[in-house]
Amino acid sequence: DVMAVLDRLGLGTILVDATDRITFISRTAQDLLQRDASDIIGRSLQTGLPWPKEFSALLHAQEELPDDCRGPASVVLDRKGAPSLSLDIEMRDDPRDPLRKILFLKDVTEVHELRRQLVGQTHFFRLIGKSPAMRAIYEQIQDVAMVDAPVLIQGETGTGKELVARALHEGSPRKNRPFVAVNCAGLTDSLLGSQLFGHKRGAFTGAIQDHEGFFEAADGGTLLLDEIGDMPLPIQTTLLRVLQEGEIIRLGESRPRSVNVRVLAATHQDLQALVQAGRFRSDLLYRIRVARLRLPALRERREDIPLLGMAFLEQGRAAIGKLGIHDIAPTAMQQLLRYPWPGNVRELKAAVEFALIHCRGTSIQPSDLPPEFEESGHPVLSHPSSVASRDERQAI
């Protein structure tokens, strides 16, 4: 029986006959609605379920529509002795009889709560910002973290690509397993191959003992390949095979070793342009960009600068031993807001640390900032602009 199969699969399902009578409710649906089958079966769809009459009327109206015109209907239910429940309910024709309908109930309470928290959120894992651009990144991380597929993280140098990779790891089922990051830039074929895949003693001059590579070290967890655009072509070929087969072979060995690793790749380069230049394999590009995240440059989210600046001040004053410094003066904040930030968030962090070292008062002044701020052609004004003042108040 189809309904018995749905019940065993743990799906929240309700079957309604041609007269709008409920003829079946799965165990999962009973648990979600806190109702026994005996209280529901035989009753009308309009009155037999614990949701508002208006919602029942909406479902009734959907009965007249074809399947491809129906969308999920959302409802929030108050439950006795339990938190409110957010449900998405989809109606489909019963394939055995189009006059009968099947309701599929999906619990989306956690998703709705996360999205509600994001509205006023300024921190997400170790990422900081509440601009629309960063909220979009937070939502993408939530969507992608639970999908065990390769992710390509793109963004200019200093935008926080490794922080995003760590957020993807910490938000995934692999969070209690290793997170390993390796920078692919500036390494020879043999050295990078040894680091990634390991080697056997005697595989090359200086290999005095067996060595476990990063893939084995990250087994069960996540491996970040940073600056993957700089990976030598021979290593790209080996990496593609590893991604396809889930096995590595240490240098000097012939025996494959199984590895269970989620691979994240990060780059500041245009990989498609590298493919056209013959410096990156197109098949590897397709393999690593199953999911993609593009991080905004700091100049694209200037409203986050006060938040970031104050966060770096709090971190830095304790580390540097300048606990007497409490804030950033409005004129200095305006300089931060006007600066072009070619080095992005990393440069902002360094600028605040520089200012902390040179500050002799309780508030960072324009004169405490690095000399490039004077050289950037953005003079300090005597009064902060309205956007600077507003963003400061929000940050504080």
> Which pLDDT tens digit goes with each residue over 363-372?
899 999 999 9
Asked whether 172 and 141 are in contact (CB, 8 A), the reply is no
Q: Tell me how many helices (H) and strands (E) the chain has.
A: 17, 16
> What is the pLDDT averaged over residues 301-308?
94
pLDDT on residue 380: 38
To the nearest whole percent, how much of the chain has pLDDT over 90? 53
pLDDT on residue 116: 61
**Band of residue 203 on the pLDDT scale cut at 50, 70, 90:** low
Which has the minimum average pLDDT: 98-102, 128-132, 224-228? 98-102
Report whether pLDDT(118) > 90: no
Stated length of the chain: 396
Counting Cα atoms < 13 Å in the Cβ hemisphere of 171 gives 21
- Torsion 284-287-288-293 (CA) sign: positive
Asked whether 121 and 135 are in contact (CB, 8 A), the reply is yes
Task: Work out the end-to-end distance of the chain between its first and last CA atoms, rounded to an integer number of angstroms.
Answer: 62
Q: What is the pLDDT of residues 145-166, one digit of tens each?
A: 988 999 999 999 999 999 999 9
pLDDT on residue 8: 76
Give the mean pLDDT of the chain.
Answer: 86
Which has the minimum average pLDDT: 117-126, 276-285, 377-386? 377-386
Name the burial class of residue 321, with classes exposed (0-12), middle (13-18) and buried (19+) by CB atoms within 10 angstroms of its CB. Answer: exposed
pLDDT on residue 381: 36
Residues 6+ apart with CB under 8 A from 71: 90
Provide the residue type at 76 as one letter: V
- In this prediction the pTM is 0.67
More confident residue, 1 or 243: 243
Which has the minimum average pLDDT: 59-63, 257-261, 377-381? 377-381
**Band of residue 390 on the pLDDT scale cut at 50, 70, 90:** very low
Report whether pLDDT(345) > 50: yes
- Show the domains of the chain with their CATH numbers: 2-108 (3.30.450.20), 120-294 (3.40.50.300), 300-395 (1.10.8.60)
In degrees and rounded to multiples of 5, residue 176 shows phi and psi of -90, 10
* Distance (Å, whole) CA 304 – CA 332: 15
Which has the minimum average pLDDT: 53-62, 253-262, 311-320? 53-62
Provide the residue type at 374 as one letter: E
Nearest to 217 by CA among 194, 236, 251: 194
Report whether pLDDT(387) > 60: no
Q: What is the pLDDT of residues 215-263, one digit of tens each?
A: 999 999 999 999 999 999 999 999 999 999 999 998 878 889 999 999 9
pLDDT on residue 312: 94
Asked whether 178 and 220 are in contact (CB, 8 A), the reply is yes
**Band of residue 115 on the pLDDT scale cut at 50, 70, 90:** low
- DSSP class of residue 211? B
Q: Are strands 247-248 and 257-258 parallel, antiparallel or unpaired?
A: antiparallel
More confident residue, 98 or 393: 98
* Distance (Å, whole) CA 224 – CA 150: 10
* Distance (Å, whole) CA 298 – CA 343: 9
Report whether pLDDT(289) > 70: yes
pLDDT on residue 342: 95
What CA dihedral angle connects 262, 266, 269 and 275, to 10 degrees?
-10
